[in-house]
Amino acid sequence: MAQDRIYSVPLHHVGDFEFDDAVADVFPDMIRRSVPGYASMLSMIAQTAERYSQPATTLYDLGCSLGAGTVLLQQNAATDCRVIAVDSSAAMISKLNARLEKDNAGGAKVTTVQADIREVPIENASVVVLNLTLQFLPPEERTTLIQKVAAGMQPGGALLLSEKICFEDAAQQQLMTDLHHDYKRAHGYSDLEIAQKRTAIENRLIPETLATHVERLTNAGFRSVAPWFQCFNFSSILAVK
């Protein structure tokens, strides 16, 4: 696993964060050291696919990156399912394609699509995963996507949504931010790396409150909306139609 050293030296200008070749090369290390509870989020993808996938339906991994969730959907899908893995990053899709060709893990057929997730039809879905993805869309466009997912989902299907969240109370927001930064330091990131990464991502990743996510999912028609996980300022919700 290549180590994430992207922000380890002082930069004269810190540009907006992009899922480019440099990030794709170190992404497993980056997300492991940046997202508390990431392993639990992945294990829930497998559990959700096993419990909620329906025969002859489609499972979607929207914002699939290198396909950690895609492979879990593939391995745990019901009979005659297919998996569609979507990401706008050419670097991520290229590496995922190489992984799928090499691993040949069996299970459901996987189709990879390099595209904006807002432009991909959702049809005959029984499981949809948005794993740390919705947060990168403009807030005003998130409701439309969630409504499209709900409309394209079979009754009894499930959406697994994991996000970085924010808090209305300023003191709680500061505490969760401080604890998250402590987590990063404990996993080897320097204060310089933390500061530069925060500058790079602050205009790209716009978090919302957990209550906002729950309300959006409920209004889209999901009959059960259950926040099942939170660690610091990261949360995951299981929504069942």
- For the chain, what are the domain ranges? 1-241
DSSP string, 57-120: -EEEEET-TTSHHHHHHHHH--TT-EEEEEES-HHHHHHHHHHHHHH---SSEEEEEES-GGGS
- pTM of this prediction exceeds 0.95: yes
How many Å apart are CA 181 and CA 176, to the nearest integer? 9
Inter-residue contact 29 to 1 (CB < 8 Å): yes
Q: Is 117 annotated as a binding residue?
A: yes
188 marked among binding-site residues: no
Fold entry, domain 1-241:
Rossmann fold (3.40.50)
Flag whether 60 is marked binding: no
**pLDDT tens digit string along 157-184?**
999 999 999 999 999 999 999 999 999 9
116 known ligand binder:
yes
Q: Which secondary-structure segment (H or E) carries 126?
A: strand 125-131
Q: What is the pLDDT of residues 177-224, one digit of tens each?
A: 999 999 999 999 999 999 999 999 999 999 999 999 999 999 999 999
Q: Is 64 annotated as a binding residue?
A: yes
Annotated binding residue 198: yes
